Structure 1
Amino acid sequence: MRDNPITPTVDLDADGVQHGFLRLPYSRNESAWGSIQIPVSVIKNGAGPCALLTGGNHGDEYEGPIALLGLAQTLRAEDVTGTVIIVPFMNHPAFLAGTRVSPVDDVNLNRAFPGAPDGTPTAKIADYFQRTLLPMADIVLDFHSGGKTLNFLPFAASHILDDAEQMARCRAARDAFNAPFSVEMREIDGLGMYDDAAETLGKTFVTTELGGGGTATPETVGIARKGIRNVLIHAGILQGDMDLSPSRILTQPSDDCFHFADTGGLIEFNATLGETVSKHDDIAHIWPAHYTGHPPRTIKAQMDGILTARHHPGLVLPGDCIAVLAIETTTDLTKEDQC
C-alpha cells in the first residue's frame, strides 16, 4: 500500500511537550502547493500507556475541541506517564466551516474509515489515523455532540463488542469518564466509523454525545474537561483521584430506539430530553408547512424509554431522525462501584 502523504511536524516518539501540525498536501485553485494543517499536540514522558484524544471529527461539535485545547495548553510532561496525543480538530476543514462534513470533498470523516492514502483529503486523514495514530494508542477518547441538527442528554458511551474482555475495558473507561449518563450505544450507521476502526484494532474506545445545537455550554464543556482527566487517571497516565458522581446507566436494546420522520414540516415535541415516555405515547407532531386546515403527522414511541436525543431545528425533512430512546438499567454509579 502507498505511504500516506500526511507528515507530522512533531516527533511522535520524543519526550516533552510539542505543538505542531499534521500537514496534508492539498493542491487547489487558491494554493497550487498548499496544505491542510491539522493542529496536534504530543505530551510524552517515558514509557507508559498512550492516549489518543480527538475532537472535531464533525466540524460543528464543540465541547471536545474546547476541552482539548485547554488540555494541550496546560498539560506538562512531568505530570504524564506515557504519551498523550491531542488532535482537537480531526476534520479541520469541516471545523473551520462549522459543518458536519468536509467542504473540501463533501465527505463525512466518521464514515470514511479505513480511508485511503490516495483518496480524497478526508480519506487521507482517515488513513493516517487508521495506519499511524490508532496503532500507537492504548486508549482512544473521541468527543462528539449533536452538532447543528441534534440535541443529546450529555453521555459517554461504549459499544457492545464480540470480545468480552475488550468490551469490559471500554465500559470501564466509559464509566471512568463519568458523564451524567453512561450509555451502551447502538449505531444505526456504523459502516466506516472511527469507532469501529479503533475497536477492530482492539483499542479501549470511549465516545461521547455532550449536548448539541451547534454550540457548547459551560455545563457540557465542564463534563468534557472532567471526563478527560478521569480517563487519563483511569489509564494510568495521570496521577490523582478521579472526580466521580452518580451516573445513570442507559442501554439501547434495539432499533426501536430510533424514530424517523416520514414526512417533512414543522416539528412540535411533546416530550423533553430526559423525560420518560411509554410505548405509543405521542413524542412529536409534524405540522404541514405548506397549507393550513390539516392535522399534523403524529410520531409515537415505539417502546418505553427515556428521550436521550431529539432533532434540534424546528423544521424536519422526510428521513430525519427526530428522537432516540434508551432504557435505564441502573441509577447508582458511584466511586465505590468503580474501584
Structure 2
Amino acid sequence: MSDDGVFTYNGGAVAPGETQNIRYGISETYLGDPVRIPVTIVNGEHDGPTAFLSAAAHGDELNGIEVVREVAHEWDLSELAGTLVCLPVLNVPGFLAQQRYLPVYDRDLNRSFPGKAGSTSSKRMAHRIYSNFIAPCDFGLDFHTSTRGRTNMLHVRGDMTDVGVHRLALAFGSSVILDSPGPTGTLRGEATADGIPTITIEMGEAHRFQRELIDDALAGVRSVFAEYEMLTSTTVRWPGWRTIVSEPGEKTWLRADVGGIVDTHYESGSLVNEGDRIATITNPFKEEPFGVEAPFTGLLIGVLENPVVYPGNPLCHLVEVDEATRRALASDQSPSDEDAI
C-alpha cells in the first residue's frame, strides 16, 4: 500500500473508496492464450489493515471459493476500514480441469510459493500471485478442503508460536486449531515467514459446495474483521469450546492394513475413546471383518468418504484433545472459558 492509501499492483491501482474486479494474467496456455485469475480488490474509504482471502490453490477445492465470492460481492463493505484482496480461484488451470494440481507437469501450486520469476511454470505463476496480491497484505486467510474421497470438519491450521498467527487463529473462532508451521512452499507458511500472518481454514471435501460449512466460515471471517476493526457491525465470536493441538500432542492419520470396503462408524467431528472401533473393513463377501480401533482418545477431524481402500490408504485423521474438551463433547455442553485453552 502507498502512503496515500492506494493499493497498487503491477498494471493497476485501486484508490480508497474504489472496488475493482480484474482478471490478472499469470501465465499462458499451450496456444499462447492468457491464463488469468479473478481478483476483486475492495479499498475502503477508512484506514485499516490490508487482508487477503484466497481459495482453490488446489483446483478441486470449492467451498472456499464461495466464501471469498460472498464476502467480495454480497457483503455490505461500504464501511470497510482497510483493504480486501479477494482471490477466489488461485489455481485456474486446475479449476478448469477440476483436479487438485496444475495440469502442467502435475505441480502443486501450494508448494510453489512465494514463487520465482524465470523458474518453473508453477513458480512463475506463484510469483505473479504472491508479489502482486499477497506481499502488500498485513494478514491472510487461505481456504482449503480435504482431498477427494475424504472430508474435514472445519478447523484452522497455523503456526501458533507466531504472535500474529496466534491472534488471527483465535479471532477466526473455530473450535479446533492445529498448531504447526506451514510446509515449505505453502502460501500460509511462506507468507507467515515474510511477516504476513496467515492461517489455513480446512473445511469439508473437494468437488462440492457445502452450505453449512460455508456459512460457518463466513462467520469466522466476520469475527476476524471485528478483531481487526475492519467492520464495526460485528463482534469476535467464541466457538463454545476450543482445543489447540500442539506438538508433542498426538495426531495421526489412521491407515488401512488390509484392502477392502470400508464401513465408517463415526462422522467427522466425533469424539472417540481409546479402543473404540472407528471403521470396519470387509471383502466383497463380508468375510473376515477387520476392525480399526482408536489408539487414543481424541477428535476425528477428517474421515474417509470414498469407502474403498488399498493397504496404506488413510481412513481418518485423529487428534488428541484436552480433558475439558472431552467433557464438553461427551456432555454436549461447552466448558467454561477458564477450562478452555
TM-score norm. by structure 2 comes to 0.82
2:29 and 2:35 in contact (8 A); partners too? no
CA deviation after TM superposition for structure 1 residue 8, in Å: 5.5
1:282 and 1:301 in contact (8 A); partners too? yes
Question: Which residue does the alignment assign to 1:26?
Answer: 28
**Distance of 1:208 and 1:133 partners within structure 2:** 19
Question: Which residue does the alignment assign to 2:96?
Answer: 96
CA deviation after TM superposition for structure 1 residue 301, in Å: 1.9
TM-score norm. by structure 1 comes to 0.82
Alignment of 1:1-339 (within 5 A): 10-11=12-13, 16-28=18-30, 31=31, 33-45=32-44, 47-74=47-74, 78-161=78-161, 163=162, 166=163, 169-179=164-174, 181-186=175-180, 190-212=183-205, 214-242=207-235, 244-252=237-245, 253=247, 254=249, 256-288=251-283, 292=285, 294-329=287-322, 330=325, 332=334
2:224 and 2:236 in contact (8 A); partners too? no
SS in 2 for 1:239: coil
Deviation per CA, 1:223-268: give whole Å up to 9, x if none.
Answer: 1222222212222222222262534323334454322234433222
Cα pair distance change 1:19/1:238, threshold 3 Å: same
**Distance of 2:68 and 2:336 partners within structure 1:** 26
The number of residue pairs the alignment matches comes to 320
Identity of aligned residues (%): 24
Cα pair distance change 1:235/1:103, threshold 3 Å: same
Cα pair distance change 1:336/1:299, threshold 3 Å: closer
CA deviation after TM superposition for structure 1 residue 211, in Å: 1.7
1:8 and 1:23 in contact (8 A); partners too? no
**Distance of 1:51 and 1:334 partners within structure 2:** 32
Deviation per CA, 1:54-88: give whole Å up to 9, x if none.
Answer: 01111222221112112222456642222110000
* Unaligned runs of at least 5 residues, structure 2: 1-8, 329-333
Cα pair distance change 1:121/1:239, threshold 3 Å: farther
> Alpha carbon RMSD of aligned pairs, Å?
3.0
1:245 and 1:333 in contact (8 A); partners too? no
CA deviation after TM superposition for structure 1 residue 274, in Å: 2.5
Question: Which residue does the alignment assign to 1:4?
Answer: none
Cα pair distance change 1:9/1:21, threshold 3 Å: farther
**Distance of 2:60 and 2:195 partners within structure 1:** 29
Cα pair distance change 1:328/1:45, threshold 3 Å: same
Q: Which runs of 4+ in 1 moved over 6 A?
A: 333-337
**Distance of 2:106 and 2:90 partners within structure 1:** 15
Cα pair distance change 1:49/1:309, threshold 3 Å: same
CA deviation after TM superposition for structure 1 residue 112, in Å: 2.1
Cα pair distance change 1:20/1:269, threshold 3 Å: same
**Distance of 2:70 and 2:260 partners within structure 1:** 40
For 2:119, the aligned partner's letter is: G
CA deviation after TM superposition for structure 1 residue 40, in Å: 0.2
Deviation per CA, 1:153-205: give whole Å up to 9, x if none.
Answer: 222333343x4xx2xx32332232223x2313447x82322121122112222
Deviation per CA, 1:74-116: give whole Å up to 9, x if none.
Answer: 4566422221100000111112222211223311212223333
2:155 and 2:178 in contact (8 A); partners too? no
